Each structure stands twice: as structure tokens, then as C-alpha cells.
Amino acid sequence: MDVRRRLSRWALSRPSVLVVEAPGARAIRWQVEDELDRRGWTTASSPAGADIMLVLGEPGPDLGTAVDLVWSQVPHPGHRARIADEGRGAVRDLLDKAAAALVDRAGEKPAGGGDPQAQLDGDGDVAGLPMAGTAEDRDGLELDSLTVTLGPVLPAWPTGLVVRAAMQGDVLSGVTVKWLDGGATATSGHEAPARAAAADHLARFLEVAGWPVAARQARGVRSDRRNGGRLARRIRRSRVLAWSVRDIDGVLGRVYRWCDVVAGRGAAVALEPRPRTSLDALLDGTELAAARLIVASLDTGTLRDAVELPDRYGAGHG
Amino acid sequence: MADAAIMLAVGLALGGLFAVADQLVTAGPGSVAEPLRRPVRLLLQQRRTTLLPDTLLWRVACVAVPLLAFGSLAVVPVAGWTLLSTTADLVWFNTMEVLLWAAVWLAGWGPNAVFSLVGGYRFLAQGLAYELPLMFAIITAGLAAGSLRAIDVVTAQAELWFVVTMPVAFVLFLVGVAAFAFWGPFAAPAGCDIAGGATSELSGVERLLVDGGRAVFLGAGSAMAVALFLGGGEGPWLPGAAWFALKTLLVIGTLVVAGRSIPVIRPDRFVELAWVVLIPVALLQTLFVALLVLAGGYG
């Protein structure tokens, strides 16, 4: 048994962590992400791939419900932990304890509650779920239509934002957006230097854009371990990035503005133009990948304004 | 039986090498043990299920990914040795990778989850982009060798490595390898924006099978690139096996460094690039080699 325990301690010494950030916990997330990078622990992009679920800050009632649902999807031996205080020592302590708890859990038998069919409720067509129907798409073709929800817990996603839409193929329509728990955002109560905030935005955008190496570099810039100018040059010079996202409204311009801030040119807030369109109109008719990139390219303040803006262009915008 | 065990070991070694190189580039030298550690971690993890999954097809798909990876490795001449040697090795290699379309799509379909399904469909869209250039790249090597037997393709390069006369096919082959394993710039089917896509609902042994299978595919593909374009174990002074290992390491290293230096290429952009640029270029490459064959350029 001792061999088994040692083996599991070794195997679980670098667990995969699903980070769920509650409003106002941005400072903690920065410290947690830095520590994860330093230790070489990976971040999970879905609950199924996670060993540890780490909740940062104090989730409100709505987000709390979502967090419980996500936790129910983390497979055994999964460990759940919460941290509400900043401080490098606290973060290190928490991760050490979480890894140790995980080893203990791995020695236990899994609890029988892992069957998702047990959570069924609602009165949809099949087992409480609505069936995908068909509807006319943007070109007037009759296609399958599926109702999808983006958020509130997704990798590199603004905390508390929930986007609901009908999806045909991968095109979103009938988009509605809302903030959970009255709209407290990640940055509430956290003043950070413009450069660090811009680096953080870049890091999250680069994760969504599928460039993990550059995202890691951006996190290094955020904590002053890496050179911001070099990161900005790398992003601006990437023809693949420009070619891949240039057809998506305004994304590249906003990313380049963050690059300027990171490189020490230009002030962040003054350069950010207020959105002309509400977020639901902005996302209506876009593909899923494009919608994710658009959201990732807006800073939290702009995003808030965009959600609150009345839809001036109506549903036909796109 | 012994041969199959050797192939299994070679496949795991190649997949492991690729995974180590990938870790070095993405997470730094501290994480080189991760390709050993992660499988154990996944074996300790419970298999998770989802709401109303298509269990049979989902499980079949997850097992199929590593089976197809080893299936493709079976015809790859590793230091002059292959498990299978048929008159149509190149077609066999291509078939394994075409069957992967079904496996990945089913892996996306199985769990009855939105992001997973989107990932499965992204893989099909990506397939429309990489498949034809990859086929032309493979067939160009066969054309020059006058044989579809992988060993014959290696032997035909005794005078001149094929990469010299078909550099475009070599690059397209490597692009194809990265694309069918949906890795690096072609990882959109497992993208972070859709929470891991086709792999988002995988846990425990299923995740190990799929991610392990992808790594073996990448390793086997790199070895195949050496066999088809870099003369296999050809080289002075050192024994063939050493040359083969060196060249494979070089291909893996190049693939990882190049692949990790760019962001994900969205499948819709990739399809555009493939049909407007890559397929015409691949056809020109094949035409060029065909003319060389007619002129007696390959002896």
C-alpha cells in the first residue's frame, strides 16, 4: 500500500487546476496563476479535466449555484478549495494543502454520487432537457438550432458574464447577455497598474486565441518577470494572429492597443473607445469562436458598458 | 507477438519524446517528467460520465484514437524495420488517419455536450483543409520511389533524400501530421475557447487514451516524415538506427518549436488557405516530381 501511496503522491504532485474567479478576486487570481506557472501545474479548461477546483473570492448566490454544478462534474479524486485572502504565502499554503488532500482522496473509494442523470429536473422533451429543434438560419436555410449558454464558468472568461444564444452550425443568434449577482465584476475593488492590467487582458486573450506560450509570457509581464516590449513586438509581428482574427470586428485593434500599454506607450483607459453597440448586438450572427475572441478582446469596464447599452441597431445587426 | 511488443514500445517512446519536447517548449525544463506523471494521474482518476451520453460510440471513439495511431505506426519504417510491410503501406498510413475523422467526431458527439460536439465538427472542417495536401504529399514520395511500400521509399533515397526535390511535400506532410493530431496551431477542435472541445468531457482512462493516441500519432508522423523525405536511417559513420533517431528528434524538435510559435489557426481560415494555396502548390509539387520521374531523375 505504501508503494501505491507514494506513486499517487508523485503522480498528483502536479495536479491540473480549474480556477473559478468570483467578482473582486482579480488580485488573487494573478497570484494563483503566477504560482501555478512557477510550479508547472497546468490549468484545466473543463471540470472533467480537473483534479482541483479552486474558487477565488466570495461567489454570490447565482455564481455559487453555478460553481456547485461545475464541482459536481469534477471526477474523483477531485478536491475543492476556496481562497479569499491575498498574499503569496496564503496561496502557496493553499496549493500545498490541496495537493496533499488530493492524495488522501485518491486513497478513498469514490462516492457514488457521480451520476449526472440524478440531477435531472425541468420539463423539457427528453429527460428534462429540451431537444434541439430546427429554425431558419441567417441565410434563410432551415437548420438545426441548439440553445447554448456561454459562461459563467469558462476558461479566460469574464467572471459572472452569461451569454445565451441559439446556435446553428456554430453561428449564434438571438443573443442575450447578463451579469450574475447584480453585475459585480472581477476588477471591483482592485486597482492595478495599467501595464499589469493590460498584460492580464493579453494573457487571457492569447489563451482564447490558442497561443499558450505567448499567454504564459504575458503572465510573466504582468508580474514584471518578463519584458513587456518583447511581448508586444511578438504579438504585433504575428502575421498568423492578424490573418486569423482580422475579419472579426475590432478585435485586432483592441489587442494592439493593449500591446502599446504593455510596451509602455499610451495610457490604457483614455485609448479605449466606448462601445458603439451593445454586446448582444455585437455577438449576434457571429461564430462561436469569433464571439469568444470578441469578448476576450473587450476589457471588463467596456464589457459592462456594452451589456448595459440599449441595443440601438435592433436584432438585424450583423 | 514480440514484434508487436517492440512496436508498442517504439510507439510509446515516439509519443513520449514528442510530449517531452512539447512540455519543454510550453512549460519549461521543470516539466519534462509530466508525460510520465500525467498518465499515472489519469489512471487514478475516475471515469466521468455526462447527461444522456451515447456511451457505446463515445467509448469506441476513445479506444479508436490510440489503436489508429499504432495502426499507422505499423507501416512506418523505424530504422529500416516495420511491423507490417504491404504493397500499399502509404495508402494504409493514410487510411488510419482518415478513420481518425470518424473517431474524433464520435468522441465529440458521444458525451452529448455542446462544446464537445463543436470540437468534433471543427475537426471535420479542419479535415477538409489538411486532407488533400497531405494525400498529395504522401503520394509524391511514392511516385518518386515507384512503390507504395514504405521500405522501398526509404531505399529509393540512397542517392538523394526526397526532401531535396520535394521540400513542399515535406512541409505539407508535417502540417498534415500536426493537423490530424489537432495539436499546436491546429488545436481548434480541442480549443481553449470551447473549454477543450472534443476532449472537454474526457476524464481518467478515456482522456489518457485520446491524448496518448494523439501523442503517438505525432511521434509516428514525425518518424514517417523521416522515412518518406529524409532518407530514413541513411547516413555516414553512424549505424542506421542512430541516424534514424537523430533525424526523428530533429523533426520532432522543429515541429514543436515551429508549432508553438504561432497561435491557433481557425479552421475556416485554414480551409481557405488550403484550397487557395496549399492544394495548388501540392499539385505543382507532384507535377514537378512526375516530370522528374519521366526524365529519369530518380535513377
Q: Is B49 on the interface with A (CB under 8 A)?
A: yes
Q: Which residue of chain A comes nearest to B260, CA vs CA?
A: A213
Residues of chain A with C-beta less than 8 angstroms from the C-beta of B277: none
Q: What is the pLDDT of residues B237-256, one digit of tens each?
A: 888 889 999 999 999 999 99
Q: What is the pLDDT of residues B126-156, one digit of tens each?
A: 999 999 999 999 999 999 998 999 899 999 8
Whole-number percent of chain A with pLDDT over 70: 82
Q: What is the pLDDT of residue A318?
A: 34
Q: Are residues B262 and A293, on separate chains, in Cβ contact within 8 Å?
A: no
**pLDDT greater at residue A237 or residue B54:** A237
Give me A4's grid cell.
501505491
Q: What is the pLDDT of residue A183?
A: 65
CB proximity under 8 Å: B 167-186 to A: 185
3-state secondary structure of B275: helix
pLDDT higher than threshold 50 for residue A313 = no
CB contact set of A2 (below 8 Å; sequence gap of 6+): none
Q: What is the pLDDT of residues B80-117, one digit of tens each?
A: 788 888 888 899 999 999 999 999 999 999 888 888 99
- How far is Cα A260 from Cα A257, in angstroms, rounded to an integer? 5
CB proximity under 8 Å: B 58-97 to A: none
State the number of CA atoms in the 13 A half-sphere of A21 facing the CB: 23
Q: Is A120 on the interface with B (CB under 8 A)?
A: yes
Kindly state the average pLDDT of the residues A269-295.
78
Whole-number percent of chain A with pLDDT over 90: 22
Q: What is the pLDDT of residues A36-70, one digit of tens each?
A: 998 889 899 999 989 999 999 888 888 888 888 88
pLDDT higher than threshold 70 for residue B34 = yes
CB contact set of A62 (below 8 Å; sequence gap of 6+): A152, A180, A181
Q: Is B188 on the interface with A (CB under 8 A)?
A: yes
Q: With bands split at pLDDT 50, 70 and 90, how would you rate the model's confidence at A270?
A: very low
Q: Is B277 on the interface with A (CB under 8 A)?
A: no
Q: Is A126 on the interface with B (CB under 8 A)?
A: yes
Among candidates A10, A146, A208 on the partner chain, residue whose Cβ is nearest the Cβ of B37: A10
Q: Is B34 on the interface with A (CB under 8 A)?
A: yes
Q: With bands split at pLDDT 50, 70 and 90, how would you rate the model's confidence at A268?
A: low
Whole-number percent of chain B with pLDDT over 90: 62
Q: Is B6 on the interface with A (CB under 8 A)?
A: no
Q: Which residue of chain A comes nearest to B266, CA vs CA?
A: A244
Q: With bands split at pLDDT 50, 70 and 90, how would you rate the model's confidence at A202?
A: very high
The CA–CA distances, whole Å, from A63 to A58, A179, A299, B12, B185 equal 9, 10, 20, 43, 33
Question: A270 CA to chain B: closest CA distance, Å?
Answer: 29
pLDDT higher than threshold 50 for residue B222 = yes
Among candidates A40, A146, A244 on the partner chain, residue whose Cβ is nearest the Cβ of B266: A244
Question: A154 CA to chain B: closest CA distance, Å?
Answer: 7
Q: Are residues B41 and A119, on separate chains, in Cβ contact within 8 Å?
A: no
Q: Are residues A49 and B196, on separate chains, in Cβ contact within 8 Å?
A: yes
- Most A CBs within 10 Å, among B40, B48, B117, to test the A interface: B48
Q: Determine what percent of chain A falls in helix, strand and coil, rounding each to the nearest 5.
A: 50, 15, 35
Q: Is A236 on the interface with B (CB under 8 A)?
A: no
The CA–CA distances, whole Å, from B203 to A46, A218, B31, B68 equal 10, 29, 21, 20
Lowest-confidence range among A69-73, A141-145, B99-103?
A141-145
Q: Determine what percent of chain B falls in helix, strand and coil, rounding each to the nearest 5.
A: 75, 0, 25
Q: What is the pLDDT of residue A310?
A: 53
> Could you write out the three-class secondary structure of A8-19?
HHHHCCCCEEEE
A17 near A54, Cβ under 8 Å?
yes
- Chain centre distance of CA B266: 19
- Backbone φ, ψ for residue A249 (5° rounding): -45, 110
B186 near B122, Cβ under 8 Å?
no
Q: What is the pLDDT of residues B155-184, one digit of tens each?
A: 988 888 999 999 999 999 999 999 999 999
Q: Which residue of chain B comes nearest to A207, CA vs CA?
A: B192
Q: What is the pLDDT of residue A140?
A: 74
CB proximity under 8 Å: A 246-285 to B: none
Q: What is the pLDDT of residue A123?
A: 44
Residues in chain B: 299
pLDDT higher than threshold 60 for residue B125 = yes
Q: Is B187 on the interface with A (CB under 8 A)?
A: yes
Q: Is A28 on the interface with B (CB under 8 A)?
A: no
Question: A309 CA to chain B: closest CA distance, Å?
Answer: 25
Residues of chain B with C-beta less than 8 angstroms from the C-beta of A12: 41, 44
Q: What average pLDDT is seen over chain A?
A: 81
**Strand pairing partners for A287?**
A171
Q: What is the pLDDT of residue B281?
A: 96
Kindly state the average pLDDT of the residues A242-256.
87
Question: A76 CA to chain B: closest CA distance, Å?
Answer: 5
